[in-house]
Each structure stands twice: as C-alpha cells, then as structure tokens.
Amino acid sequence: MAKMKFGGVEESLITREEFPLEKAREVLKEEVIAVIGYGVQGPGQSLNLKDNGFNVIVGQRKNSKSWDKALSDGWIPGKDLFGIDEACEKGSIIQYLLSDAGQIALWPRVKAHLSPGKALYFSHGFAITYGDKTNIIPPKDVDVILIAPKGSGTSLRRMFLEGRGLNASYAIHQDATGKALDLVSALGIGVGSGYLFETTFKNEVYSDLTGERGTLMGAIQGIFAAQFETLRENGHSPSEAFNETVEELTQSLMPLVAENGMDWMYANCSTTAQRGALDWWKKFRDASKPVFDQLYKEVASANEAGVVIEANSKPDYREKLDAELSELRNSEMWKVGSAVRGLRPENN
C-alpha cells in the first residue's frame, strides 16, 4: 500500500504499479464474482471484470429490462447470466449493485446465500451506514467491502475501453477472513480503477450524498438555471445564454481544469476573465457555504437517507421521477442544449 500526502495529509493509496492486474488475477483466481443488479454500476463493473479475465457472472431478474440489457451486452443465460438467487448461490463474492431501495427489498434473499467466508461488496456506503433504516446487517462471518468509482458506470466503462482508469475509493467494514484487503484491492483494479484511495463506509456515503446534491448535480444545475435565467431576462438570446452558461464550461473550460487545475485555467484565460473570476469566486463561496453546511448536517443526521428510502420505496416513484426529469428536459435551457449538442461537429 502506497502512502501519499494530499495538502499535507497522508493518505493510503492502492495503485496499478504496486497491485498490477496480474496480481489481482492471482488473488481472485478461485473466486466467482456474482454481480447482482444491472443498472447504473452493474454493466460497467461486470464487463470490465470480464474483459480483464476474471470469473464473473451476472444475477438479474429474468424477463426484465435489465435482463434484456445483459443479453444485449453478451451475457449468456446458464453460462454467466442467471436469476438472482442462483447467482448469489454460485458467487463467492457478491457484488451488491442494486439501487439503495432495491438492496433493501432484496436483502432477505441475498442474506440467505451469505455462507461463512463469502464476501459482500458494495459500491455505496448507504446500506451499511444507515443500517438502522435499511435493516441490512451482514452476518459476522463474511467480509464486507466497498469499491466506489468516482463516476457513473457508463464513465467507468468508457474510460476502460479508452485504456484509462476512473479513480475509486475503497473501504473494509468487516474482515472475517483476513483476506479483505487483498480482495478489495484486486476487485478495485479489476473493475478498472485508476487508483484507489482509502475511506470508510460512513465517509463514502456522507461525501457522496453531499456531492450529488452539491457540485456534481444539484448545485451545478441550480447555478446553471440561475445564470441562464438572468441572461434571458436581460435580453440575451437562448443560444447565447446556453453557450455562455453550459457549453463553454463543459466543452472548453472544465477539460482544462481536469488536465491542469483551476489556477492554470485562470492563467490561460483573458485578463478580463481572470480579474472577474478572482474578484467574484469568494462571493459565490460565501453565499453557498451555508447551504453546503446545512446539506452536510442533513446527510449526517440520516434525514436525507430517510427521504431517499421513503421516496424510492413508493410504487409511483418512477412515474413521479419521469415527471421531474421531464420538467428539466422541457425547460428552455435544456431544450436549447439539445439543439446546441446537435450542432457539434462530431454530430454532423
């Protein structure tokens, strides 16, 4: 395990150099990895494991959309695609990649197949951290581990196919066999991580829920909408408002930040942009910091977990979700966005 300082704080890392793919294959050569669920993370992780030469099977409800998706991805019924119970029985490592609500509903069936010495794998700390709400309490004689890629399963797969890796966090909640660190290291490399950084189940879910509601999705959409609306209210055309709000950020500036950092991006913009950004960023920080403080308290208190569980467990959840997403999709900003994306050179 490597040690590296980030901002003066030493952290534990697992890299491809110290834990190469060949070592990962050796660690998992006797294991059967059963991926349960084929929604957000399941396809990317299972296909990457398969392409990396691991013994992986998929467990999914038969005759469902996800089952059909697995078939279209090349999984073969009776060979490496099974019903959920059969896959859980066959697997020595069960990757529990259903939605949080799905994990709660299916837990009694999965738990029945957790015989001593098996490993239970998560990509989100929700189920374990909020165990008093989810009732997901693993047996004491199984390993409980986590690999949480810092991005969607789609991104994980795309980056893998491009020969790149997506960073991920890892955690060990329970080491019943004494092999949990080797297992989590091998699995993290196997699913296509760039490098692995250490966390806990609690810290993973606290940071993840904060990030999803914050800069990754919720806050960024809110900021997009506020700027777009301000520009439109002041007479700017829909195309100009969208390009100045979203297109320039996502297509031009954020790739530069990803490559070289915010200071480099600032240094390589016009002096007018530099001055304005340096003068205004702290005002936006000061305005949003109380909102983030409130958000984190809601996550840490489990209030957000309660909202998620209640909403996602309702029979009309999908219907209401579709209505909320339709509101976004049919807003002026994102209608313009659809038109702008269609004009990109790669789409013509």
pLDDT-derived band at 181, boundaries 50, 70, 90: very high
Q: What are the residues facing 196 on neighbouring strands?
A: 14, 168
Q: Quick check: 134 pLDDT over 80?
A: yes
pLDDT at 54: 98
Is the model's pLDDT at 1 over the cut of 80? no
With a cut of 80, say whether residue 320 has pLDDT above it.
yes
**What gap in Å lies between CA 119 and CA 121, rounded to an integer?**
6
How far is Cα 305 from Cα 312, in angstroms, rounded to an integer? 10
Q: What is the mean pLDDT of residues 50-57?
A: 98
pLDDT at residue 347 is higher than 90: no
pLDDT on residue 12: 83
* Segment 303-311 long-range contacts (CB within 8 Å, at least 24 positions apart): 304/209, 304/213, 305/126, 305/129, 305/130, 305/133, 305/209, 306/133, 308/100, 308/101, 308/126, 309/100, 309/101, 309/104, 309/130, 309/133, 309/134
Length of the chain: 348
Cα diameter, the chain: 67
CA distance 59 to 91: 10
Look-up: residue for tokens 């893998």? 160
d(CA 323, CA 70): 27
Give tens-digit pLDDT for 63-119: 899 999 999 999 999 999 999 999 999 999 999 999 998 999 999 999 999 999 999
Distance CA 215, CA 1 (A): 30
pLDDT in tens, 247-288: 999 999 999 999 999 999 999 989 999 999 999 999 999 999
Q: Are 100 and 126 in contact (CB under 8 A)?
A: yes
Which residues are catalytically annotated? Answer: 124
> Which residue is listed with tokens 């009309």?
316
- Give me the domains of the chain, ranges plus CATH numbers: 2-199 (3.40.50.720), 214-347 (1.10.1040.10)
If you average pLDDT over every residue of the chain, what do you get?
95
Average pLDDT estimate for 115-127: 97
For residue 33, the SS3 value is: strand
Percent of the chain surpassing pLDDT 70: 100
Per cent of the chain over pLDDT 90 is 89
Poorest-pLDDT segment among 117-121, 148-152, 343-347: 343-347
Amino acid 11: pLDDT: 87
Token pair in block for residue 323: 């209505």
From first CA to last CA, the distance across the chain in angstroms is: 47
Mean pLDDT computed over 189-211:
95
How many angstroms separate the Cα of 31 from the Cα of each of 34, 55, 70, 100, 233? Answer: 9, 7, 21, 25, 60
Q: For 239-254, what is each residue's pLDDT tens digit?
A: 999 999 999 999 999 9
Q: Is the pLDDT of residue 313 over 90?
A: no
Query: Could you tell me whether strands 143-149 and 168-174 are parallel, antiparallel, or unpaired per DSSP bridges?
Result: antiparallel
